[in-house]
Structure 1
């Protein structure tokens, strides 16, 4: 044990003085005057990934390069950056041993740098092979080059030279030829403090003729393990195609292990055709089933290629076509489409029912023309409005003239068509009896029999189920529930309400006239109607 203790310092002393590395030594060769970089890899056994890397030189004496200043490093012609040790211009003074470690001797890695002055043996060359008529980029080795992030060192463009020629060469051949072969030298220049340092590599290029692929016969169709779906009793033909290059090659069909006959009198047979084109033979062997049977479905048929160089086989099977299942997708889509159309139709009709009805009535004449014995289309009965919101005399005259002259309605007017001297209630009931519709018009002042008469004829209107149209104003609509007589409120609930909005209701194409005409029956004197453009 004491012997080992005394020998260990001696061993380390010999290593430091003689440069003999006790373990894991990396050999590096560099030509005198050129740059070289040593790199200290990560030690897998160490967990100190952020520890400081210490570079030590054992060339003449042991020197800690890491703790040297930048000026001292430049004076020695070296640059230490992290895990990299860059020797700017190698000389005999730089040859020897170097080590890197993480703060102590444990995990220490050793390098032996050899500086040579003459051309080294061929093993240091980086051979490259290209083929004629193909693209050939020359590859300059990236061996012992400084890392790209090394401070103050900038790489320049690679320079190529061919041995025996003085002019630089392009490092890329779009189509390399045989005469491009030779020994090429690539130079990697690096700029450091306004001075260029080079790294030179030798790349022998060998240009070979492009090898022609061997022509091998092959079956092109069918593919491996193809399944053919057929109908029982059907005639089926399956083609096996192959490309061959010898007249001794052939293609045939096998039923299991026995060969299918070429006699067309059998239920299953095959025939073939052969086509020769510039030394390439295309052969097609057709397997024929006269009538597919259950027995045929249980067999495996093999197309076999027999050749002097190679043989290949493709096996196929027959299977009965599956019974197609009914698809409910078209039915579902049809139902959805019908429902969408129905919904759109209902929405369009509800939204535009008035315009559609008037268009059909005025343009196509789609309305009932049955005679009911009535003399008037409508009876305009005015009643006094308790507010000032009723139609004035001009509005009433406009309402009467537009219905009669513009739209051709036959109106019964109390002040025009009722004979004088007749009892008011009886006269009103006669007008109602002779009219198809009663239109209640609020007026201010009241030119008619008065709103008090509504209570007297209310029972008669309800009993006869007379069609009622109740014209109201915007003000009447707002105060209708509280200020109108009880009889008028009851009549308003049984009839259809149309709102008069003053000046905006006067145009013949306004919503008021459309709604009023929609609730009125079609005029019997259709010839008097002057059609209006329908606007939505």
Structure 2
């Protein structure tokens, strides 16, 4: 005997034993139901068992396994299906109808056998309906959330091994929407709901037959995930109660859109829980969740048969424990009329402290804040008031020549250098701007009336020069009585005794419109010059903005 022929016989024997054991030990599938429209093509698979490896027809035939299909009769028997003019065909392990008719409706099963084994499949129920349109009467239901992507794949076509380009998708039996095995809706809308039929076209003997599956797509509104919340009590609640009086405290939580069985709502006191509907002086009264609108609420009541002293000033904790969250609310019972005032005192103390801090900050930085605000909004108070000068400078000369020279240098050089050149003010200085030989009294009064501010430079208690005194009194009269001009008193040298000064000067010295010159006053960003600018009318210049 040829060695190759002998090896083939041994291989078939071994394969037959393995396949026979496999088939004999498989469990049959549960009965299947197939729905199809008359005139279409349909295949019934010989699903013999739940094994992951499908039956291989070539292996079965090589090892002398036979497959036979039967149609069960109404009398309880079955008849062998031998084919009907090639309309019913065996196709490997499946049974094909080209096409299927209404009278093909019935129950079918297949049998695989050899000399050792004979195993029958579960019954497959074939339901054939008359239907003039393309759509099926059997649907594969899909539900998708509005706004999400959804892919429709033509189901149960594995047996055809078809090219996906041959599949056409039709919506609601009339509108062609896609060609291909999968139809993707990138963003589902309500209008996308409907019946989607996938149509596979197969050819046989010059004829074309359809295989259809219909998916019924339903849409649902997008619902944001809801995290349970504790409504009452809050983190620190206080309730006034009376000793010996029965009291109830309700703990309320919202669980979500439906009852959340994984949530627990309960009370704790000093890390101990309470009996439910018990006989203890304090117990819990729980009720079933209730629906309010589209939400589910849980209420758990803590019942005090009578308030005891031990219940006062201690937190009772209502705890909501869920997989998504863990929340606590506390209630403290206070005896009526004896509420703890510590929180009130703390609130008052905090408020007073804040007021004091604000007052100190304002007093310390008032001038800086005011100048910053002026520059920020470009404030200018020198517009449209018909005044020619921002300030009239009145120098009160001392009897001492050395002091007089020092003050004149300040008034005639330093003061205009800073205020005029740096900050854009226009000054009227009698000694500099009034022509010699004119009537000093009249000229002084004239220029004072054309100025917005009267700057008085004072360097000693003793004042000489009658014309200056006259101008001083005239200007002070307008400033203090008529209110036509605002005074600024510069105390260049400290005044030891103010009683020698006129009363009007004494009043200004005691007011906030006095500025004292010190050794630190030289820089233009010193407190001295800031206060001079603060007392002067607001005037916007680019130089002031940069400072």
Question: Under a length normalisation based on structure 1, what TM-score does the superposition of the two structures give?
Answer: 0.35
- Whose Rg is larger? 1
